[in-house]
Structure 1
Amino acid sequence: MKYILKWVVYISVHVFVFLVCILSKFGIAKNTCNEFRASANLGAGTGAYSKEEYEKCYRILKSYIELENDYVFGGIKYQLAILYYYGKGVTLNHEKANSLFEESAKLGWEDAKKFLSDLEVYKNNQT
């Protein structure tokens, strides 16, 4: 029963997003369609990360790396920053990670703000 309910919810969400995206073809709700897709992909990427499927997480989220106009994109950038910071599914790159953390924080993502704050405290304690 649990899996049937999950399947029904999954299909319902995708049908709703599909209908909104059809409206976007006529110039209606175009941004909403993009936000729904980004939100769904953020959920899928986060799910892959929690299952330690880091390459899959990166594949799902990498197309959003340049986008910067929505709160949801802040979450995606945060998730990508975590991958780069710890080198999970991608090559370890602290410079890229820090840049993504900063972009995510600018978009209002609280976890990114906390990470940057904790990183600053850590750096200050090292000196």
Structure 2
Amino acid sequence: MDKVTQANIDETLPQDMLAEIFSRVGQDSSEQLFILKLVCKSFLKLSDDPLVCKRMSLDRWDLVPWRNPKIDYIIRRCYFFGNPNADFRRGLINYFYKFYTELGLCLLEEAANNQIIEAVYVYGLIMFSSHQVEAKHV
């Protein structure tokens, strides 16, 4: 039985299949995705695939990446490709920190519609506190 090498994996599996695998790794753990990026240059290139950025978990980092341009770049890239976790982060920052309430609320609603649990709670609380949603008596 031949030993499977890195070159064989790159050559035998289609790029879209590898991107799907990488996106699932990044969805579960961004730390594991970064370890995967260190394997070879082709894996590093694949880790920047739009599908990977769209699904990447952002739970590892602080809400606001203070003075860290690398993390800020990753979060902006995820936001650009429609990552719902990035929408949630940008929504919180815009609503509570920058006071762009309309944009922040729109981003929070988008994240809540994509089943980001934290966004569902925050968006629900904002809507409830602004009397746009009535409490249901159970």
Q: Residue 67 of structure 1: CA displacement?
A: 2.6
TM-score normalized by the length of structure 1: 0.55
Partner residue, 1:65: 79
- Counterpart mapping for 1:24-103 below 5 A: 33-34=52-53, 38-39=56-57, 42-43=58-59, 46-47=61-62, 49=64, 54=66, 56=68, 59-60=72-73, 61-68=75-82, 73-87=83-97, 91-103=98-110
* Structure 1 unaligned regions, length at least 5: 1-9
The answer to which structure has the higher helix fraction is 1
- 1:16 matches 2:29: no
Q: Residue 11 of structure 1: CA displacement?
A: 8.2
* Structure 2 unaligned regions, length at least 5: 1-29, 133-138
TM-score normalized by the length of structure 2: 0.51
Structure 2 vs 1, CA of residues 67 and 34 (structure 1 numbering), >3 Å: closer, same or farther? Answer: closer
What does the per-residue CA deviation read over 1:28-58, in whole Å, with 9 as the maximum and x for residues that have no partner? xx5664457x33xx245x3263xxx546488
CA distance in 2, matches of 1:62, 1:110: 21
Corresponding residue SS for 1:65 = helix
Structure 2 vs 1, CA of residues 74 and 34 (structure 1 numbering), >3 Å: closer, same or farther? Answer: closer
Higher Rg: 2
- Contact kept, 8 Å, 1:81 with 1:97, in 2: the verdict is yes
How many equivalent residue pairs? 99
What does the per-residue CA deviation read over 1:34-89, in whole Å, with 9 as the maximum and x for residues that have no partner? 457x33xx245x3263xxx5464883422333433xxxx222211111111122xx
Deviation >3 Å, runs of 4+: 10-13, 17-21, 30-36, 53-58
- How many percent of aligned residue pairs carry the same amino acid? 10
Structure 2 vs 1, CA of residues 63 and 16 (structure 1 numbering), >3 Å: closer, same or farther? Answer: closer
